[in-house]
Structure 1
């Protein structure tokens, strides 16, 4: 049976009320070429709903003026690193006195906000990055909070004062972890694994490393070092490129002797080394620093 075309004004996802105002009949709204991912919403039946962003776009027509995507959902919209288990649920908040949604597939919240704390990202209403980070308190572990803060600071999405101000916004769930994460966050880490490695070395009592600094030797650029103890000419690098191309591997292999030729010791940390960090990370870094004159009380 030939179906009547949908009005172009409705877009790829639309709410039933708007469709009825456009003249669509109940029969057309329940045709098998449309799917209902949420109550009161229709999307083309073939439209992908496999990612959280897909579901955000499908849910967006249900949002009312004071509602927005929040918590871990906003973090996904901002491309912030989250533990895998934390990136699936769809969180939608409302600024009181607006009411949070109550529908299958959505976790609703009431969060006091102001217009300056909300923005659009990918066409979706979300809190600004600092506020998004603060909403993660109590939802993800401390080290994951640090990794998110590192990402925000490194990208320049907010500064440490912005993050601190966000933690002071009313009373925060997970306030103790947020405060601890503020003390541990640093701009410069470019991946969650780099953050994990930095925190591991910090807790071992090593000096504060320089993050992603450039190494020059005799006026020539040699390398960009993940974590560098420049005073001792010791560098620690997280190597997550086990599946890198052969060309990339050759470039890296050429770089390692160049770093050594500049008088530096390089400790490479691979993912499996983090399974026994005392033996495979802390011990070699400690030995390298000791060999260059570092002592715990220096």
Structure 2
């Protein structure tokens, strides 16, 4: 069948079976290899990108009814918030405020929420929950460290998606969960964090009994000239600890700039410790040992 005579050619990439029927597409045509079937009642031209939450959301979108929207960890992922690390895999969560009903189909976690004024918005034509509300919603799903990292993301960056006060107000209005995990997480939230692993490193150091480091601390030389922004700094002991994910490992120019930066920090009399990915493996004790050693050499006394 030529494209001009094929009614399926005029449908969007993702569509419902009902839409195809209304367009005159024969039911048998939808069973062919040309269309993927990611959800009941939905067809996608071609294939849905594997392990892509956003692709799954785009595939499900035609099936959503008025009042339904992506929520919980799905909403946070669509807002760009850091997700828990592998092997954790976020699921597709869709909610609706009463009296609307949540979807009930395989591959989707549905939620019917308390009566409340909706606050969801559209991102790339997808209905997505407000990030502050979505952060509270993952309180029932995630570990405390991941909840802290998500809040760190929300309050950081050039254009933060939330403030600490707004997150606290959401808890006050709608209540805490799991023995107060959200309030405890909020106590550890800090602005200026650049990655989820930086959050994890900071929490590991504090929980191990080390002093709490300053986040995004600006280092200046004796003439007041800016030297570097330090991810985690212990100014009293002139120790900087930074997570180095080696994103630019293959970028020779970037690596050279990084090396010059490290040298400039050391010239100011600071100890500079780089924590690499393998240092955080397991319980992260190797990373803690590196930071502890630098602090001890710089005059820190445990328990002080």
TM-score, normalised with respect to structure 2: 0.86
CA root-mean-square deviation: 2.7
Displacement of 1:89? 2.0
- 2:139 is paired with a residue whose SS is coil
Q: Match of 2:148?
A: 146
2: CA distance between counterparts of 1:279 and 1:32?
Answer: 50
* 1:229 corresponds to which of 220, 234, 251: 234
Among 171, 174, 180, the residue aligned to 2:184: 180
Offset of 1:179 from its aligned partner? 1.4
**Structure 2 residue 48 is the aligned partner of structure 1 residue 43:** no
| Residue 279 (structure 1) shift | 6.1
Deviation per residue, 1:234-262 (Å, 9 max, x gap): 21111111761233333222222221111
**Equivalent-residue separation in structure 1 for 2:220 and 2:123 (angstroms):** 39
Partner of 1:253: 259
**1:119-150 deviation line (CA, Å, top 9, x unaligned):** 11222111111111111112111111111111
Could you list the runs of 5+ residues in structure 1 that have no partner in the other structure?
Answer: none
Mapping for residues 46-195 of structure 1, pairs under 5 Å: 46-50=46-50, 51-83=52-84, 84-112=86-114, 114-155=116-157, 156-174=160-178, 176-195=180-199
Deviations 1:146-183 (A, max 9, x none): 11111111131101121112223435543521111111
Q: Provide the aligned length of Structure 1 versus Structure 2.
A: 297
Q: TM-score, normalized by length of structure 1?
A: 0.87
Displacement of 1:196 in angstroms is: 0.9
1:274 aligns with 2:275: no
Q: CA deviation at 1:8?
A: 7.4
Q: Unmatched 5+ residue regions in structure 2?
A: none
Partner Cα separation in structure 1 for residue 27 and residue 170 of structure 2? 46
